[in-house]
Amino acid sequence: MRKFSYTINSENGIHARPAGILVKTVSQFKSDVKFLKGEKEANAKSLFSIMGLGIKNGEKLNIEVCGDDEDILSEKLEEMLQHDFNADKVMETSEA
């Protein structure tokens, strides 16, 4: 299991568009991913589950990745979060 934390620095937090990007990305992998915010927990393969966390700018998000491809998925998620969900930027850094 891989665990890491990230403080959201997107002005609008994680709203529908970035949540959709996260779900689409995570769903391509076998590993299970949980997003944890305070006492709440979300399945990262479910848009409604992520939206239910109400993640706002400046809030800390704990992420747990567990499964056969957890290493590569964890790296991909960290890149996405660092680049504010910019898929083009993530692809550029992945190909370099």
Q: Which residues, in sequence order, are CB contacts of 19 under 8 Å at separation 6+? A: 47, 50, 51
Span 14-18, average pLDDT: 92
**Which of these is catalytic: 2, 6, 13, 15?**
15
Catalytic residue list contains 83: no
Predicted confidence (pLDDT) at residue 83 exceeds the cutoff of 70: yes
- Domains (range + CATH), the chain: 2-95 (3.30.1340.10)
Express as a percent the part of the chain with pLDDT over 70.
89
pLDDT 10s digits, 32-47: 999 999 999 999 999 9
Q: Which two tokens stand for residue 3?
A: 């665990």
DSSP label at 36? E
